[in-house]
Chains A and B, each alone.
Chain A
Amino acid sequence: MKKTGLVFFPAFDWAISPTHPEREERLLYTRDQIFEEGLMDLPQITEYKPRLATKKDVARTHFCVPNVAGQTTEAHLIAAGGALVIADALMKGEIHNGFAMVRPPGHHAMRVVHGNRGFCNINNEAIMVDYLRHKYGIKKVAIIDTDVHHGDGTQDIFYHDPDVLFISFHQDGRTLYPGSGFTNEAGGPAAYGTTLNVPLPPGTTDEGIHYVLDNLILPVLNEFQPEIIINSAGQDNHYTDPLANMKVSAQGYAQLNQKLAPDIAVLEGGYAIETALPYVNTGIILAMAGLDYSHVIEPDYNKNQLVQSPEKTERIKETVEELLAVWKQRNKIELGVLAHKSDFYQRQKTIFYDTDYIHENQVEKVRLCYDCAGYITIMSQAFHHNDRRSKVFCVAIPFNACQRCYNDAHNDYMNAVRSEAYDYVYLQNKAEDVYRIFTNVGTKKLEEF
């Protein structure tokens, strides 16, 4: 019998600040519940020790400004490393699925990182996906973001990648941070339809998310046929979560994991640390291990209080219809039409870092390429609250880069270095797994690893 792997890294000595929701106490009661339950002793479960993700593991996914060390504490590297430990165990065939119950979380961290957004600095799942692709040659990946917040960081990182299916359901962005994740955000021109966002009305219940699961997520997964399914497992849809307004229960979450059957789940948010987390985490672990979770019930659970109005049900059905239509048309978007207008697809973004109070402006360009995923350049300028500014240029070469993209990307990188217009210039060469940071601040310096 292959087991369910667990990495439990509660980071009992790390917090954003003493009273921040992301603090030492967050997984304390989860620890108590799963230890008292004796889950680690069960023959179906095996516990792994996390490790630190390396600078290179992070640089494969992110452009950290000024560098990886500048954006990560050890806790971040261990949380990401915890996900990598599970990924390795899965790929070595030691486990049949695994759950990295780690903090700090990561799904709001985008490709370029100037600071902390939504409690996240680096994106644990994205780092794991890039690691799986680099180390094990995995191509098609599905990430299902079940956190109440839009997984905007993960979306940003895989927006142009047709081989990564990213589906996020969340409380409607008009009513909740980060304010994005609408149905029209469906992927770049070369990856249209492989990003699907399901904004849900506040007050959505187990019934609502299971409707989305049964009618959208599972059928789409079935068609997409990923090699690996990842649950970006936020727990803040819970009816007691202080940061959101949804009505999902521990049973709802456990059932979701049973049906979704993710290969790997990575913990994201969830801030009802007493009333939800101990129960939701226990439920998820039991579901993943194929054990009966029907006895995992919150003390104050009352089914009658967790009902969804018919009007909300109707809205959810409409959203699902709309997204199914997007999914069905995904191959009809003619890359050629767009490419005809210009060789590059360009988008401008303004990004706000709520925790660190940074405003960022970005111009992102993607080569529309018939032979590979296309290289990406990002010009990014950040305005910090203390008037500090930084201007950086980033070049990303995809794993499967064609020769033309590879050469052009290098040229763009060299031109940016020569121009002296940027504080930092980055080259992320995933094709050769080589990463460069050129520094223009103070003495000019080049770091390669």
Chain B
Amino acid sequence: MYIGIDVGGTFTDAVLIDKDRVISKTKFPTVHDNLLLSLLEALDRVTDQVDNSLIERVVISTTLITNLIVQNKYEPVALVLEPGPGLNPRDYPFKEDTFIIDGAIDYRGRQIIPLDKRQLDLTISEIKKKGYRKAAIVGKFSGRNNAHEIEVGNIFNRAGIITELGHKVSGRLNFLRRAATTMLTVATRDEHVKFVDTVNKAFRDRQITAPIFILKADGGTLSLEDSKKAPVETVFSGPAASTLGAMALSPEGEDTVVMDIGGTTTDLALILSGKPVLASKGATVKGYYTSITSYAVRSVPVGGDTAVAVKGNDIDLLYERKGPAYCFGGPYPTPTDALLVLGYYSHGNVEAAKEGLVKLAEPLGCDVKTVAQKILDKFSQSITGAIEDMFLSWEQEPAYRVWELLHPTQIRPQNIIGVGGAAPGITQAVARLINCTPVIPEHAEVANAIGAAVAQPTLKATLRIDTGEGLYTVEENGNQGSVSKFSSFREEDAVRLAKEQLLKMADDLHVPVDTGSVEVTHSEVFNVIRGFTTTGRIYHVTVQTPRKILTRLYKQGGQDA
């Protein structure tokens, strides 16, 4: 049996799944200053009828790290950057104390300016004088050669400063995103470690021996223990949870829009050919782009609790919450009231909802049902606009190869799946507007927890192999090593090396990998030519484990659970 728990901003959801059936589920308001309590309460509720020894796996999605960051609840970190030639560091976006050090590595991983040890000593004393205990050390092109970062890190560690190095956080090109992510990693690690240790203890106390995982923003899982290495990977796992949940509850392999309708916002995500679409830029945290991979999600500022008022000869969404819906005693009529009056929703006081809508109906000279329908239409239109926008911007993603431009992707969804309390009526209305099939699954209200429960570890190894320099680097973990400089190194060798690195990574992260299922998802070769002779080759190879979910709960034609 699998458990999924999503400690969300408003609700904490949990499910217990056996094969493809939901055995029990729970949903209750998150206790803000005690996320652990919320988590354990949810856990206890879904497991109270079962023998804990039957639990095979637990996956948690939590806003812990997001909250720490957003609420500034972390110890300040000194940012130590080695920029080399390029943008003036004065124009960097960081508000943190930034210390610039000399030294530079270029795009092929060659040292172009050596480190200045004397300057490093001065930097360390300055950092200490300012009272910092922790530093993020990030060099431009450290993903191509980590030597400088390692050396600086060692010197800092010897001086008693707690550090994190950029290349360990991400080897992907983008110095500023890497710097932000490294800073957030050092900043949140202590709190996260504390959280992990308490969770572990609480599970042991309950005799749950199943492995515990934590959900990442990219929809993959990390073992709770390994997440200590990369705490920030767990930010924004909420949208990943709802998308994966929607995936488990919708038709396999199709193009689907996921619509997670909350109180004041509606989050949209896309599943294309059965796979969630990843954002092209890293997640934005505290206004900084990061190198954290996340799903492409778009938030529309309307939800079930959005206040509605009369404006001119029509109604208008106010794009803010003035309190709960009328049917729950609120001051303004809302889409939730409209849904209740139209029979798409079954909680709250129908009479109160009608009362609220009359306030809109009277000045417009129409009946309550008409007003309710108008609200639903407005709501649907604002979502439809955002969906269309999402597709357009997805089609506008830059392309750097002729082939990509000649094979443009123009897809419009077949399905729209609605999760969240107000989902049923809105999903039908939006589906009608964009002409696709509405999917309103059972258990939609705990879709996030289902998403956590079905998430799988995903492993990817992206190698850049430069036979001219005799060097290879792995983007995902910053590993580097040497390869033969001879031209006998071929594409097959590149793929073999990439698979080896993936298996090593799997080993480090305790993820079992079926070697046969590892697929090459990207491969390209550039000849390095100087004069008219080939002096090497640059390979870019990506191999990954198949991106699958553990189980599907979608039932064709119905809701028969």
The answer to whether A and B belong to the same complex is: yes
Shortest distance in angstroms between B397's beta carbon and chain A's nearest beta carbon? Answer: 7
A278 within 8 A of B: yes
Q: B527 near A23 (CB under 8 angstroms)?
A: yes
Interface stretch among B59-67, B73-81, B83-91? B83-91
Q: B173 near A36 (CB under 8 angstroms)?
A: yes
Instruction: Pick from A12, A36, A51, A297: contact of B175, CB below 8 A.
Output: A36
**What separation, in Å, do the CA atoms of A74 and B406 have in the docked complex?**
8
Q: From residue 170 to 220 of chain B, which have CB atoms closer than 8 A to chain A? A: 173-177
Q: B405 near A78 (CB under 8 angstroms)?
A: yes
Q: A12 near B401 (CB under 8 angstroms)?
A: yes
Q: From residue 23 to 67 of chain B, which have CB atoms closer than 8 A to chain A? A: none
Residues of A within 8 A of B397 (CB): 49
Known: A38-B177, A41-B281, A291-B91. A296 touches B403 (CB 8 A): no
Q: B107 near A29 (CB under 8 angstroms)?
A: yes
Q: B85 near A296 (CB under 8 angstroms)?
A: yes
Q: From residue 267 to 315 of chain B, which have CB atoms closer than 8 A to chain A? A: 281, 289
Known: A24-B527, A299-B106. A35 touches B402 (CB 8 A): no
**What separation, in Å, do the CA atoms of A98 and B305 have in the docked complex?**
43
Known: A49-B397, A74-B406. A23 touches B140 (CB 8 A): no
Interface residues on B, range: 35 or more
Instruction: Pick from A24, A25, A293, A295: contact of B83, CB below 8 A.
Output: A295
Q: B398 near A41 (CB under 8 angstroms)?
A: no
A442 within 8 A of B: no
Q: B86 near A33 (CB under 8 angstroms)?
A: yes
Residues of B within 8 A of A75 (CB): 402
Q: In this complex, which of B89, B112, B113, B529 has the most chain A Cβ atoms within 10 angstroms of its Cβ?
A: B529
Chain B: CB-nearest residue to A10? B400
Shortest distance in angstroms between A271's beta carbon and chain B's nearest beta carbon? Answer: 11
Q: A32 near B85 (CB under 8 angstroms)?
A: no
Instruction: Pick from A37, A48, A242: contact of B86, CB below 8 A.
Output: A37
Q: B402 near A25 (CB under 8 angstroms)?
A: no
B156 within 8 A of A: no
**What separation, in Å, do the CA atoms of A75 and B403 have in the docked complex?**
9
B382 within 8 A of A: no
Instruction: Pick from B104, B141, B173, B400: contact of A8, CB below 8 A.
Output: B400
Residues of A within 8 A of B90 (CB): 292
**What separation, in Å, do the CA atoms of A75 and B87 have in the docked complex?**
30
Q: B401 near A11 (CB under 8 angstroms)?
A: yes
**What separation, in Å, do the CA atoms of A7 and B529 have in the docked complex?**
26
Chain A residues within 8 Å of chain B by Cβ, number: 49
Shortest distance in angstroms between A17's beta carbon and chain B's nearest beta carbon? Answer: 10
Shortest distance in angstroms between B511's beta carbon and chain A's nearest beta carbon? Answer: 29
Residues of B within 8 A of A279 (CB): 85
Chain B: CB-nearest residue to A78? B405
**What separation, in Å, do the CA atoms of A242 and B529 have in the docked complex?**
13
Residues of A within 8 A of B403 (CB): 13
User: How many pairs of A and B residues are in contact by the CB < 8 Å rule?
Assistant: 124
Shortest distance in angstroms between B347's beta carbon and chain A's nearest beta carbon? Answer: 43
Residues of A within 8 A of B400 (CB): 8-12, 31
Shortest distance in angstroms between B218's beta carbon and chain A's nearest beta carbon? Answer: 19
Binary B-proximity of A289-332 (CB < 8 A = 1, otherwise 0): 00111111111000000000000000000000000000000000
Instruction: Pick from B89, B289, B402: contact of A14, CB below 8 A.
Output: B402
Q: From residue 128 to 143 of chain B, which have CB atoms closer than 8 A to chain A? A: 140-141
Instruction: Pick from A35, A39, A51: contact of B87, CB below 8 A.
Output: A39
**What separation, in Å, do the CA atoms of A65 and B104 have in the docked complex?**
50
Residues of B within 8 A of A29 (CB): 107-108
Residues of B within 8 A of A23 (CB): 527, 529
Q: B528 near A38 (CB under 8 angstroms)?
A: no
Shortest distance in angstroms between B549's beta carbon and chain A's nearest beta carbon? Answer: 31
**What separation, in Å, do the CA atoms of A52 and B534 have in the docked complex?**
32
Q: From residue 85 to 114 of chain B, which have CB atoms closer than 8 A to chain A? A: 85-91, 104, 106-108, 112-113
Q: B175 near A13 (CB under 8 angstroms)?
A: no
Residues of B within 8 A of A298 (CB): 85
**What separation, in Å, do the CA atoms of A24 and B405 have in the docked complex?**
16
A28 within 8 A of B: yes
A18 within 8 A of B: yes
Instruction: Pick from A13, A41, A294: contact of B177, CB below 8 A.
Output: A41
A282 within 8 A of B: yes
**What separation, in Å, do the CA atoms of A278 and B141 have in the docked complex?**
13
Residues of A within 8 A of B405 (CB): 49-52, 74, 78
A386 within 8 A of B: no
Q: B528 near A35 (CB under 8 angstroms)?
A: no
Q: A23-B527, A242-B531 are in contact. List 14 more A-B contacts (CB 8 A).
A: A11-B401, A14-B402, A19-B534, A25-B528, A25-B538, A32-B144, A36-B107, A38-B87, A39-B87, A41-B174, A74-B402, A282-B85, A282-B86, A295-B89
Selected A-B contacts with CB under 8 Å, 24 pairs: A12-B526, A18-B529, A19-B532, A23-B527, A29-B108, A36-B86, A36-B140, A36-B173, A36-B175, A37-B175, A38-B289, A42-B87, A49-B399, A73-B402, A74-B402, A74-B405, A74-B406, A278-B107, A279-B85, A286-B87, A295-B85, A295-B86, A295-B89, A296-B87
Ordered nearest first, which 8 A-B pairs have the shortest CB separation? Answer: A32-B107, A299-B112, A38-B176, A292-B88, A35-B173, A36-B173, A13-B401, A295-B88
